[in-house]
Amino acid sequence: MSMAQPRLRALFSLGLTALLITGLIASQWLLGDSPQQMQFNARLAPPSVDHWLGTDTLGRELWARTLAGLALSFWVGCLAALLSTLIALSLAAIATLSARLDALVSLLIDTLLSVPHLILLMLIAFALGGGTQAVIIAVAVTHWPSLARVLRAELWQLRQAPYVRISRALGKSRWFVIHGHLLPHLVPHCLVGALLLFPHAILHEAALTFLGFGLSPSQPAIGVLLADAMRYLSGGYWWLGVFPGLGLLLMVLGFERLSTHLRRAL
């Protein structure tokens, strides 16, 4: 029963996350151009039956813009987490080839971990000119060190395992050793690592956009909504910042819980 409970929690979290992802993907087709439709006679309207989450300064529905922003953050976070995981796996594999390469990769990991994330993100995004592509590259390039350290340690341990040594002694090819012995152990680590990177990716994407180094202000991104809300919160228009921030928080917590349960189940 104790072994089945983490798996049931992981399946439950996976089901809820799948519903969230399906809803976000479906909302892109169902909303159409609703996030950009302006109603000047309903500017800064509070939440009501007619306007579920209120409207912004141009009369655009906040619920539609929040859903569009969450969908955009989801795709940016997925691509950034996937690229970051591939970088971590590649460098971890390179580190196991020789002692010099291992020292070089370790130095690179320690160097990136010693630099504050947000500062490095801003520098990379600014150097690349901003925009969606710049944010994805900046997040992917800066979020791999922790996962690479875990995968590197796991690969070194696996290479010294008795069954791997026996397989090599029996004349098995390197591809057979990688496919048959190493990858089955690394895939769960990569999966959980990617899920753990995802919340960090979308939070840093929102932070970059909020500071003006990320996505274009014309896009209904969560960072753009929060940045616009800062100018009107003191006037009592609380819904402009509460609902986009709450949506981002719920999505981050959902994926964080999924990664935690999945790690325990695996």
Write the CATH number for 76.
1.10.3720.10
Decide if 55 contacts 43 (C-beta within 8 A): yes
Residue 107 falls within a domain, yes or no? yes
Residue 77 neighbours by CB under 8 Å, 6+ apart: 139, 198, 199, 201, 202, 205
Q: Kindly compute the dihedral angle of the four CA atoms of residues 185, 190, 193, 199, in this order, to the nearest 10 degrees.
A: -150
The pLDDT tens digits of the residues spanning 130-186 come to 888 999 999 999 999 999 999 998 888 888 888 888 887 888 777 777 777 788 888
So what's the pLDDT on residue 79? 93
Tokens linked to 145 = 């060190």
Decide if 68 contacts 220 (C-beta within 8 A): yes
Residue 108 falls within a domain, yes or no? yes
So what's the pLDDT on residue 141? 92
Residue 50 falls within a domain, yes or no? no
Residue 221 falls within a domain, yes or no? yes
Residue 250 falls within a domain, yes or no? yes
DSSP line for 243-259: HHHHHHHHHHHHHHHHH
So what's the pLDDT on residue 1? 46
| Nearest CA among 124, 130, 156 for reference residue 215 | 130
So what's the pLDDT on residue 3? 56
Residue 42 falls within a domain, yes or no? no
Amino acid letter at 128?
A: L
By residue range, what is the domain housing residue 247? Answer: 4-32+59-265
| Nearest CA among 200, 84, 92, 196 for reference residue 150 | 92
The residue ranges of the chain whose pLDDT is under 50 are: 1
So what's the pLDDT on residue 168? 78
Residue 248 falls within a domain, yes or no? yes
Q: Which residues pair with 61 in a beta bridge?
A: 55
Could you identify the residue written with the tokens 């798996």? Answer: 7
So what's the pLDDT on residue 109? 92
The domain tally of the chain equals 1
Residue 153 falls within a domain, yes or no? yes
So what's the pLDDT on residue 244? 92
Decide if 222 contacts 207 (C-beta within 8 A): no
